[in-house]
Amino acid sequence: MAFDPLAFHERAVKTPSDESSDAMRELVVETLREQGAEPTIDGAGNTLAETSGAASGPHLVLNTHLDTVPPHVPFRRDGSIVYGRGACDAKGPLAALVAAFLATDPDRGRLTLALTPDEETTSAGAAALDLDGDGYIVGEPTGLDVCTAAKGRFEGTITIHGTNAHAADPAAGVNAVAAVEDVLSAIRSFDRQRGPDTHAMLGRPTLTPTVVRGGDAVNQIPDRCTITVDRRSVPPETAAGFEAALNDHLVEQTDADCEFSLTDRETPFLEAFATPEESDITAAVTAAGGGELRPFTAATEASYFAPAPTVVFGPGVLTDEEGAVAHADREYVRQPAIERAADIVQNALGSLLGSPS
C-alpha cells in the first residue's frame, strides 16, 4: 500500500501527544513497518530508521519531533485546512519527512529518519543522538522557506549578596535590593561592551532581565536578591562563554557582591547555529523548490546537529497575519503544503543521494 501523507497526518493530529509521545511513537513504528522499513527505538526513546545506497556518499538525516505542547486540541478539517494540536508543529513536517524518507531509494550514501520524543520539554532524545550526519533537514513549520540559522536560548540568574539589618538603621546592613539598579545598568551595557558582533543573518543578540526576587520583610534590609535573565545568542557565542563574559562584566561594571550562573539543565542549552548558504544541503533544498533563505525564529533541536550543515524546513507557519498559529488553539496547516514539502525534500534527497552526474 502506497504511503498517503495526508491520511497519516490526519491520524497523527487525532493522536494526543501533549502529555506523552508514546502513542505517536506507536503510530510511526506501525506505519514504517507497514511500508517495509525496520524502525528501532534507542534508549532515549528516539525512533530511528535507515536506508542506504550501494555506493559511498553523504549521510543525511531527516529529523523532527513527536511531542506537542499542551493542551490537546481536537482534529477538525475545513476543506484542505487541518486544525488541531500538532497540525503544523510538528505533525505536518513529520508527515512530509516520512513521505520523503519512504520514497527515497539512495544510489549512494545513507539516509536516516530520526524522530525525537521530547523536543517541547527537555530535548533529552535529541541530546542523546550521535548520528554523525553530513547534513540535516529538521522539520518545523517554516512556510516552506529554507531556514539556515537560529538564535540560541540561554537562561540564568544573577545573585546579589548583602547583609541583613533593621530597616530603621539601613547603614548597618548592605541592601541587596538597592544594588539591582547597578546590576541592571550592567546588563544593559553588556552587549555593547562584550557581546558578539552583529550576525549577518541573525542580527544582534539580546539580554533581557525577566524576573526579580528579593527581600523577606518590609522592615528588614534584604541580604539577597536575584535577577533572572533570558539570553538569545548569535554565533560564535556559547553558553559557557556567555556565563564567563557576564561574570567578568559584572565585576568590572558594578560594586555589588554578585555572580551569574546558568540554570541547571539535564541537557545542553540550545545554542545558536548558522549554515552557510553555499552548503550542499541548503543548495539542494532551495533548488528543489524551497522558498526564501532566512533564519528560523524559534529555538529548535537543530542546534544539537550543528556545526554539520543543517536546515529547518516544513509546511505550516509559526504565526500568520492574525497572530500565533503553532502552540495556539487555532493551530492549523494546509494539506497542499504538506504534499509540497514532501516533494521538495524527496527531490533534494534525490539530488544528494542519487548517482553522480
How far is CA 68 from each of CA 19, 88, 90, 297, rounded to the nearest angstrom? 8, 10, 8, 18
Rounded to an integer, the average pLDDT of 290-298 is: 95
pLDDT at 357 over 70: no
Answer yes or no: are the C-beta atoms of 91 and 166 closer than 8 Å: no
What is the pLDDT, as a whole number, of residue 356?
67
pTM (two decimals): 0.91
Rounded to 5 degrees, what angle do the CA atoms 245, 122, 184 make? 30
pLDDT at 332 over 80: yes
Q: What percent of the chain has pLDDT over 70?
A: 99
Q: How confident is the model at residue 91 (pLDDT cuts 50, 70, 90)?
A: very high
Name all domains of the chain by residue range, CATH numbers in brackets.
5-150+272-353 (3.40.630.10), 152-262 (3.30.70.360)
Rounded to 5 degrees, what angle do the CA atoms 232, 241, 303 make? 50
DSSP 3-state percent helix, strand, coil across the chain (nearest 5): 30, 30, 40
In the DSSP assignment, the letter for residue 105 is -
Rounded to an integer, the average pLDDT of 232-248 is: 96
Cα 183 from Cα 11, distance rounded (Å) = 52
Q: Of these residues, 119, 145, 271, 301, which one is catalytic?
A: 119
Encode pLDDT of 211-237 as tens digits: 999 999 999 999 999 999 999 999 999
Cα 97 from Cα 51, distance rounded (Å) = 14
Rounded to an integer, the average pLDDT of 290-311 is: 94
How far is CA 9 from each of CA 55, 249, 309, rounded to the nearest angstrom? 33, 50, 28
Element (H, E) at 257: strand 257-262
Name the grid cell of 194. Answer: 562584550
What is the pLDDT, as a whole number, of residue 1?
75
Encode pLDDT of 121-161 as tens digits: 999 999 999 999 999 999 999 999 999 999 999 999 999 99
Q: Of these residues, 67, 120, 140, 145, which one is catalytic?
A: 67
Residue 119 is among the residues annotated as catalytic for this protein: yes
Encode pLDDT of 178-198 as tens digits: 999 999 999 999 999 999 999
Q: Is the dihedral of CA 119, 123, 124, 128 positive or negative?
A: positive
SS3 state of residue 311: strand
Residue 89 is among the residues annotated as catalytic for this protein: no
Q: Where are the alpha helices (DSSP H) in the chain?
A: 5-14, 22-34, 91-103, 124-128, 180-193, 239-253, 280-287, 335-353
pLDDT at 68 over 90: yes
Encode pLDDT of 260-287 as tens digits: 999 999 999 999 999 999 999 999 999 9
What is the pLDDT, as a whole number, of residue 342?
98
pLDDT at 73 over 80: yes
